[in-house]
Amino acid sequence: MQKKKRKEVALYGNYRNYYGYRIGQDLEEDPRLKAMKKEWFEGKDCLDIGCNSGVITIAIAQKFSCRSILGIDIDGARVNDAYWTLRRKVKSIRTVPAGGDKLAESNTVNYLKDPVAESLNKRAKNDCTSPHHLQEGGFFDIVSFKKGDFIQNLHPRDNTSYDTIICLSVSKWVHLNWGDEGLITLFSKVWRLLSPGGVFILEPQPWKSYYDNRLVSETTRINYQNIKIRPEDFQDILLDKIGFRMVEDITSSVSGCKTGFKRPILAFWK
């Protein structure tokens, strides 16, 4: 008798191959990119909280020409996946024939002190050629990844700031693992890290999906029972308590999302 395959348990929403079933094979890009405006990213320093395998992080860098974008994830395995994703992307858009200019002159990404990730980064630089639209240094000067717990253990330097911060389908996992206090910590840290006039792009999951994932751990079970703040309250909290001055609902610009992933997307300005 064939054994039934065990269902993957992702305590922080850090599913393997997440984008494979979120986007699917029939779409050229993540539909959420349609809701985002180039001026929010072009020439800007950006942060992606909960980057998973880096698909969205890299797509934003390529489509909107960021000056820099850092993807953070709590799971080191997903961060290593993100380096592989970056390497494959650069190889897929190479424009210089084999033996041409390499990315060897690009600065080594030093945000992650993980030997596996550093090894992947070096191999990627040796194997890949620079895309024509990023001739000044290539993806490896622009895109980087870091393993880190944004809520509890990440303490950026005082002079660290970003023009745009995205947090897509992550707030539920913060909420379930760290409760209302963790959610407020997330919003407060984002506020502190944003430059004046910066934009925070948030895609909160609906309350129903909290119920579906409440039993992934004893911590999430207890926190689920004690949560007082609901997703429909996030906008008021961000505007009235955290201090954002303006919000735009950009959900209507999104089309083509797979069933189960049609979620609101909000842009908040500091």
pLDDT in tens, 61-80: 999 999 999 999 999 999 99
Sheet holding 162-168, edge to edge: 143-147, 68-73, 45-49, 162-168, 194-203, 266-269, 246-249
The better pLDDT of the pair 232, 10 is held by 232
Cβ neighbours of residue 238 under 8 Å, at least 6 residues apart? 187, 200, 202, 244, 247, 268
- Which CATH number covers residue 234? 3.40.50.150
- Indicate if the pLDDT at residue 252 is higher than 50: yes
pLDDT at 79: 95
Residues 175 and 228 in one domain: yes
- Indicate if the pLDDT at residue 107 is higher than 90: no
Compute the distance between CA of residue 226 and CA of residue 224 in angstroms, rounded to an integer: 5
Choose the weakest-confidence range: 122-136, 140-154, 211-225. Answer: 122-136
pLDDT at 240: 98
Residue 71 tokens read as 């993807």
pLDDT at 110: 37
Residues 264 and 186 in one domain: yes
Q: In the predicted model, what is the mean pLDDT of residues 21-48?
A: 81
Residue 56 tokens read as 């969205």
Compute the distance between CA of residue 226 and CA of residue 216 in angstroms, rounded to an integer: 16
Strands, E, within 204-255: which ranges? Answer: 246-249
pLDDT confidence bin for 33, thresholds 50/70/90: very high
Specify the number of domains making up the chain. 2
What is the domain range of residue 58? Answer: 27-37+44-92+132-148
Please report whether residue 162 resides in a domain: no
pLDDT confidence bin for 254, thresholds 50/70/90: low
Compute the distance between CA of residue 168 and CA of residue 112 in angstroms, rounded to an integer: 22
Of all helices (H) and strands (E), which one includes residue 211? helix 207-213
Residues 193 and 236 in one domain: yes
- Indicate if the pLDDT at residue 109 is higher than 60: no
Residue type, 134: L
pLDDT confidence bin for 17, thresholds 50/70/90: low
Compute the distance between CA of residue 108 and CA of residue 104 in angstroms, rounded to an integer: 9
Are 83 and 119 spatial neighbours (Cβ–Cβ below 8 Å)? no
Q: What is the pTM of this model?
A: 0.79
Are 47 and 72 spatial neighbours (Cβ–Cβ below 8 Å)? yes
pLDDT confidence bin for 253, thresholds 50/70/90: low
Residues 214 and 264 in one domain: yes
Please report whether residue 53 resides in a domain: yes
Largest CA distance in the chain: 61
Residues 143 and 62 in one domain: yes
Please report whether residue 231 resides in a domain: yes
Compute the distance between CA of residue 165 and CA of residue 87 in angstroms, rounded to an integer: 23
Please report whether residue 16 resides in a domain: no
